[in-house]
Structure 1
Amino acid sequence: MSELYNNIEPNVVDDEMLQKAIEEQCPEDIGKLAKRTGINFKDVTELELSFRNILQIDNLWQFEKLTKLQLNNNIIEKIEALESLVHLVWLDLSFNNIEVIEGLDTLVKLQDLTLFNNRISKIERMDTLQELQIFSIGKNNLTTLKDVIYLRRFKKLRTLNLRGNPLCDDEQYTLFVVAHLPDLVYLDYKRVSDTTREIAVLKYQDLIEPLEREEAQALAQLEQEQAKQKELEYHKAAFVEYLNGSFLFDSMYAEDTEAAKLAYLPGEFVSVCENLFNYGLKEHEKREAEVSDFYESLHEALTANQQEGRKLILDFENRNKRRLYEIRNASSYDIAESKRAEYKEDILQLSDALMTLEMLIADQLEVRVKHVPVRPHIQNMGAFSLTIFSTITQCRDLENRHHEELIDISITTLEKSVKNELDEDLPADVQMLLVDKTTIVNAVNASHGIHLLKIDKRESDILSNTYRWQSSVTEKAAQNEINRNRERVREIIQYIDNLQEELDNLRDPED
């Protein structure tokens, strides 16, 4: 570390530094106001913390809406404490002492990243930055051209700066980069020419083709996994995940080491689960349709109310344009005051009318939200729950029947083993169970208990998710209406205040 760096006194990113930085980046008049009243960090979208001798990134978690952050020209050694800045689009960490790329996983909206003039030796840990368009990592310690291959995953990358790294000394540097990043438009501040691109493709064709095949396979696998995940989420929404196959049956035996030693047939059990699965999907579609109809009815009522409100405002504005003109051009103070009083009364009447209209729609929507449960598939989910109970009971009956049959088979096998009448040799672990009747019965009973617990848990999970969804529908609708009502009341108050302020600002003809 240089002597200059040793002599620098590091600064801490505290509230005082942040407040000062915000004041400095505001226009003079706004900056003075911010100094008097303070600024809510949660409302700040851009923040410049350059040239402040910052050693450690910290205390930025409050900047929830930040889209642009400048931390260049400091003495930062590690990228950290940025995980809460999920809306960040532009990040400048140039001219610091960073050695490793890290701590960027949550910045999925990042489009412009500058790490120019640091101590980075490898391009890595940026997989989530799929929106990246501009990347500057010049004047670092990158030594191998293969590092560039990592950047192929950023399909939107158009501008790249690597100038000043040791890898740039390779005579094939430009062609290698252009060949491996075919969508690149600018490299090291220069536009990539068509000629350079053609030469690069020809030179590295044999290396690029295997890469493209691997990437195509990886993409196909990713799309397949995403499709499976999307399907699973749909099944979860219907409360029937993992019931379209032998998943539940297999899970009954996954932790049952004793049962794994004995034969079992899942066919009938799986069929019952699949029946419940198909039923659950149909019921899910019905519920989704009813929820959609419910919100559509709310929207229709709200739209009608809004149209009535707009008509009130339009009528008011048309009626009072002339009155404002008359106030401004009144021939005497008394006439102006009379017109002003009439206009003020109209404002009050408009306020009352708008507030009454809002109160009516609020009451109307509140009643509709409270009566969501009356809908058959939203509240009266008794039929759904009863079907679940009935189907799971079938699963239990099958398990009980299987248990009884397994007891009989096990005892018969034990008796044949004692008499040396078995047709074939059994595996050693099975023979260990055939010691006596107590051992084999205990093993089968223990297995049976595990299976029933698995079935009970699956039933409990389905019913719990059902009731949780049922509550969430009404709670979400109610909260949305509360938020809408508050916002609408604020809008009305602001509009009326603006009208009143406009009236108050009218000058008297004698002034």
Structure 2
Amino acid sequence: HHRPCICTPNVIDDEMVQKAIEEQFPEDIGKIAKREGINFKDVTELQLSFRNILQIDNLWQFENLTKLQLDNNIIEKIEALESLVHLVWLDLSFNNIEVIEGLDTLVKLQDLSLSNNRISKIEHMDALQELQIFSIGKNNLTTLEDVIYLRRFKKLRTLNLTGNPLCNDEHYTLFVVAYLPDLVYLDFRLVSDTTVKAAVLKYQDFTELLEREEAQALAQLEEEQAKQKELEYHKAAFVEYLNGSFLFDSMYAEDTEAAKLASLPGVGDLQEDFVSVCENLFNYGLQEYEKREAEVSDFYESLHEALTANQQEGRKLILDFENRNKTVMLGDILQLSDALMALEMLIADQLEVRVHRVLRSAFSLTIFSTMTQCRDLENRHHEELLEISITALEKSLKNELDEDLPADVQMLLVDRTTIVNAVNTSHGIHLLKIDKRESDILSNINHWQTSVTEKAVQNEIDRNRERIREIVQYIDNLQEELDNLEIMEPIV
């Protein structure tokens, strides 16, 4: 390998690509390719070495490319490779690249060469989980610890780092082998058992600590993913965050007065009853979700059965028609056309009935009654709070309060208007939160119903159009045949 001459810098364009593809073929095929043109989608390998390319561009059409050679150019930036999602092999060695980037979509990449560039950090490669061979020799990698980044590639077996400043570290080999225990080849040499043992001996304490940290991080990630999955399930059932005090807490989150008022003597706790009502709805919601899913599944199954029966009926009509031996008249053809169209109409009517059957849900009523329960609890709590507050005010004015209240509560016990306003403001906030939650759930249900209906109806419209087109085509053909017969019959 050597650097290309400094001629005019190029950008990859169609002409360059076309030429490169033609050169890849044997001469005779190359000529045919030149004459007939090549569909870039069919190209799986592309060699663009030694072409003085400054910038990567115009490769988006090669969506099935598996091997790409861009070595020995003057490329400064890894870019415009997003659409090459099937790439397995990528060679960008001998260029002027300074940063590893632009590889996020290349999830199938197994072999990556970035040797002889100007890269100073190993980074931005997280997506390359299939990576097996990585060459990044003769760059500006100075920090030995950077190698630890490569632990995330569980399939990496071959690594080349030669010619980087970090190789000058006296413990270089042992460090790399210790932190990347699955390596088979390092810098073009087989990693020997002796080296592995020496590496383990030297770095065991560090690697064991790292392994523990990685295991913890993985466990945490899995836990978060499980939580997220569960939340998605709850959302699909329209009852997210109802299994606990979330709604209750949100009622009080923006309500500054409530906390003060709650410290008045004799104020009962609303939370327990409130949360219990929410949890009942939550459990019911999950059951309803399972029921809905089953209903939708049954709906599609029965629709499929109805369509199949309808198609068989249509085929039977056509077969009967074609098996009649008597001379076909125009009236017969029109009669067949009407019969086939009538079958189509039947399906459309059936669909409407079936969709409505699926969407009849008792769930909305339950939500309404649950939220009414929540409102009732809040109303009762409000009345109780109002009564206690006014009693406290009257006692306070007569200096008959049994206990010292916090200063901010005493500030409310000035006159009736102040205390009533505080209690009413608090109540208003709570009711708004309950109403909002109710309307959110109901609008999610409506959204779901609409999307189920629209999908079913759209599928049916598409199928119906196609079917009617087929019928019209078939009837036209029959009429044409009839016309031809009439022309051919001799005039008596």
TM range (shorter): 0.7 to 0.9
Give the match for residue 180 of structure 1: 179
Task: Give 1:205's aligned amino acid.
Answer: Q
How far the C-alpha of 1:207 sits from its partner, in A, is 1.3
- CA 1:210–1:389 in 2, change beyond 3 Å: closer, same or farther? same
Counterparts of 1:182 and 1:488, CA distance in 2: 62
Correspondence 1:119 to 2:124? no
Q: What is the aligned counterpart of 2:368 among 384, 389, 398?
A: 389
Task: Give 1:179's aligned amino acid.
Answer: A
Spell out, residue by residue over 1:249-281, the C-alpha distance to the aligned partner (whole angstroms, 9 max, x if none): 112222333334443531111111111111111
Give the match for residue 136 of structure 1: 135
Spell out, residue by residue over 1:450-498, the C-alpha distance to the aligned partner (whole angstroms, 9 max, x if none): 3222222222222222222233334445666788999999xxxxxxxxx
- CA 1:149–1:292 in 2, change beyond 3 Å: closer, same or farther? same
Q: What is the aligned counterpart of 2:273 among 249, 268, 286?
A: 268
Q: 151-160 vs 362-371, which deviates more?
A: 362-371
Counterparts of 1:431 and 1:24, CA distance in 2: 91
How far the C-alpha of 1:213 sits from its partner, in A, is 1.1
How far the C-alpha of 1:401 sits from its partner, in A, is 2.3
Correspondence 1:401 to 2:404? no
Counterparts of 1:475 and 1:259, CA distance in 2: 45
Task: Give 1:292's aligned amino acid.
Answer: S
Matches within 5 A, 1:309-328: none
Counterparts of 2:189 and 2:467, CA distance in 1: 52
Q: CA RMSD for the aligned pairs?
A: 4.1
How far the C-alpha of 1:400 sits from its partner, in A, is 2.3
Spell out, residue by residue over 1:258-307, the C-alpha distance to the aligned partner (whole angstroms, 9 max, x if none): 33444353111111111111111111111222333444556778999999
| Larger Rg computed on CA atoms | 2
Counterparts of 1:372 and 1:477, CA distance in 2: 10
Counterparts of 1:47 and 1:432, CA distance in 2: 80
Counterparts of 1:45 and 1:144, CA distance in 2: 37
Correspondence 1:241 to 2:240? yes
Counterparts of 1:454 and 1:485, CA distance in 2: 46
Counterparts of 1:448 and 1:250, CA distance in 2: 14
Correspondence 1:380 to 2:360? yes
Q: Is the 8 A contact 2:157 2:183 kept in 1?
A: yes
- CA 1:483–1:96 in 2, change beyond 3 Å: closer, same or farther? farther
Give the match for residue 448 of structure 1: 427
The percent identity for this pair of structures is 81
- CA 1:25–1:428 in 2, change beyond 3 Å: closer, same or farther? farther
Spell out, residue by residue over 1:385-415, the C-alpha distance to the aligned partner (whole angstroms, 9 max, x if none): 1111111221222222222233333333444
Give the match for residue 97 of structure 2: 98
- CA 1:421–1:291 in 2, change beyond 3 Å: closer, same or farther? same
- CA 1:192–1:412 in 2, change beyond 3 Å: closer, same or farther? farther
Task: Give 1:464's aligned amino acid.
Answer: S
Counterparts of 1:484 and 1:441, CA distance in 2: 64
Spell out, residue by residue over 1:104-124, the C-alpha distance to the aligned partner (whole angstroms, 9 max, x if none): 444444433332222222222
Q: Is the 8 A contact 1:63 1:85 kept in 2?
A: yes
Matches within 5 A, 1:490-505: none
Q: Secondary structure of 1:97's match?
A: coil
Task: Give 2:229's aligned amino acid.
Answer: K
Give the match for residue 447 of structure 2: 468
Task: Give 2:427's aligned amino acid.
Answer: H
How far the C-alpha of 1:23 sits from its partner, in A, is 6.3
Q: 472-481 vs 200-209, which deviates more?
A: 472-481
Counterparts of 1:254 and 1:104, CA distance in 2: 44
How far the C-alpha of 1:359 sits from its partner, in A, is 11
The count of corresponding residues between Structure 1 and Structure 2 is 432
Q: What is the aligned counterpart of 2:37 among 34, 37, 42?
A: 34
Matches within 5 A, 1:77-88: 77-83=76-82, 86=85, 88=87
Q: Is the 8 A contact 2:93 2:114 kept in 1?
A: yes
Give the match for residue 339 of structure 1: none
Matches within 5 A, 1:83-482: 83=82, 86=85, 88-263=87-262, 265-296=270-301, 372-375=354-357, 378-381=358-361, 383-477=362-456
Task: Give 2:355's aligned amino acid.
Answer: P
Q: Is the 8 A contact 1:372 1:474 kept in 2?
A: no
- CA 1:4–1:24 in 2, change beyond 3 Å: closer, same or farther? closer
Task: Give 1:387's aligned amino acid.
Answer: T
How far the C-alpha of 1:426 sits from its partner, in A, is 3.9
Matches within 5 A, 1:46-57: 48-57=47-56
Q: Is the 8 A contact 1:369 1:474 kept in 2?
A: no
How far the C-alpha of 1:96 sits from its partner, in A, is 2.7
- CA 1:4–1:49 in 2, change beyond 3 Å: closer, same or farther? closer
Q: Secondary structure of 1:135's match?
A: strand
Task: Give 2:276's aligned amino acid.
Answer: S
- CA 1:298–1:427 in 2, change beyond 3 Å: closer, same or farther? same
Q: Is the 8 A contact 2:4 2:72 kept in 1?
A: no
Spell out, residue by residue over 1:138-164, the C-alpha distance to the aligned partner (whole angstroms, 9 max, x if none): 221111221111221222222222122
- CA 1:266–1:217 in 2, change beyond 3 Å: closer, same or farther? same
Q: Is the 8 A contact 2:4 2:50 kept in 1?
A: no
Counterparts of 1:20 and 1:363, CA distance in 2: 57
Q: Is the 8 A contact 2:52 2:74 kept in 1?
A: yes
Counterparts of 1:407 and 1:22, CA distance in 2: 84
Q: Is the 8 A contact 1:379 1:470 kept in 2?
A: yes
Unaligned runs of 5+ in 1: 308-357, 490-511
- CA 1:122–1:231 in 2, change beyond 3 Å: closer, same or farther? same
Task: Give 2:170's aligned amino acid.
Answer: E
Q: Is the 8 A contact 1:111 1:132 kept in 2?
A: yes
Spell out, residue by residue over 1:161-211, the C-alpha distance to the aligned partner (whole angstroms, 9 max, x if none): 212211112232222111111222222233323332233222211111111
How far the C-alpha of 1:243 sits from its partner, in A, is 0.9
Q: Is the 8 A contact 1:23 1:34 kept in 2?
A: no
Q: Normalization by structure 1: what TM-score?
A: 0.71
Q: Is the 8 A contact 1:238 1:281 kept in 2?
A: yes
Counterparts of 2:161 and 2:423, CA distance in 1: 67
- CA 1:242–1:201 in 2, change beyond 3 Å: closer, same or farther? same
- CA 1:114–1:422 in 2, change beyond 3 Å: closer, same or farther? farther
Task: Give 2:288's aligned amino acid.
Answer: E
- CA 1:414–1:130 in 2, change beyond 3 Å: closer, same or farther? farther
How far the C-alpha of 1:425 sits from its partner, in A, is 4.1
